[in-house]
Amino acid sequence: MDNLFKNKIKPKGIIFDFGFTLFYFKNPSLERYIEIEYQGLNLVAEFLKNEGLFNKNQIDTFVENVKKQNRKFWQLSIKTKLEYPTAKILEFVLKNMKNLEPSMLEKFLTTENLKKISDKYHSFSDDAWIPFADTKQTLITLLDAKIKTAVLSNAKHHDSIIKMLKKHNLLNYFNTIVTSAGFGKRKPNIEIFHFTLEELGLSHCPESCLMIGDEAADMIGGKKTKLNTFLIKRSFKFPFEQDILPKYKPDYTINKISDILNYIQI
């Protein structure tokens, strides 16, 4: 292991990625992600029809348009490192659909209702994420040690992260939750890392903080922000995933979240 018992770190704060760091997705694959996400999309389409916004013939148009815009905005987010939240994509599609009754459409374009239908959109995928077996005990140990913690996630719907943490009684272990949907920019954009440090009250000492994640975006942003970086190894790789270049090689590589306790002073 990487200097396991030498020069242990005494961190003031730890920033965690969410997916495949704190939580896992059973039997992960791009196809399964898409399948479960679009179960939620079909739920939204049926809901809007039942509420009187669509007729039966418009459901397929809505579903296909959302899929098309999802692909378009995903590719754009990779290039720009900006986030295009689910609520904004749904709003864009609804505004550009023809033959919807204007007063009825306006009802669903409020911030509150876009949030509600975004919750429905992500309901199936939210249920598919499960904490790793050692996540809670690791967080308890860090809380007892009075180390500040944050979640920093590239997520299209901020409330999904809150909901999943609440469901598994983990929300109260974090000082702050930051998502790309809420902030507007995605990792590895350095601004979202600086913002997270500000939220923790640790902007003055990034070198005393850790970034724990499973992908290049976590390592790149962490390195640029002068954090100590820990990469959790995965046994699989996703399409379009960026390789970690030597310039951004993690300071430490671990197999599971509780391994960080071997590297820090408690």
Domain ranges of the chain: 13-25+131-262, 30-127
Question: pLDDT at position 1, please?
Answer: 45
Residue 211 forms beta bridges with which residues? 15, 229
The reported pLDDT for the residue numbered 3 is 47
- Full DSSP string of 216-263: HHHHHHHHHTT-EEEEEP-S---TTPPP--GGG--SEEESSGGGGGGT
Q: Is the pLDDT of residue 196 over 50?
A: yes
The torsion region of residue 107 among left (phi > 0), alpha (psi -120 to 50) and beta comes to: alpha
What does the pLDDT look like over 30-53, one tens digit per residue?
A: 889 899 999 999 999 999 999 999
Q: Residue 6 has what pLDDT? A: 59
What pLDDT does residue 132 have?
Answer: 97
Residue 4 CA, chain-centre distance (Å), reads 30
- Split at pLDDT 50, 70, 90, the class of 256 is very high
pLDDT band per the 50, 70, 90 thresholds, residue 179: very high
Q: What is the b/e burial string over 38-51, where b = at least 16 CB atoms within 10 angstroms of the residue's CB?
A: bebbeebbebbeee
- Mean per-residue pLDDT of the chain: 94
Kindly report the pTM of this predicted structure: 0.94
CATH 3.40.50.1000 applies to domain 13-25+131-262 = yes
156 secondary structure, DSSP code: S
3-state secondary structure of 174: coil
> What is the greatest pairwise CA distance in the chain?
68
Residues 89-145 have pLDDT tens digits of: 999 999 999 999 999 999 999 999 999 999 999 999 999 999 999 999 999 999 999
In the chain, the amino acid numbered 180 is S
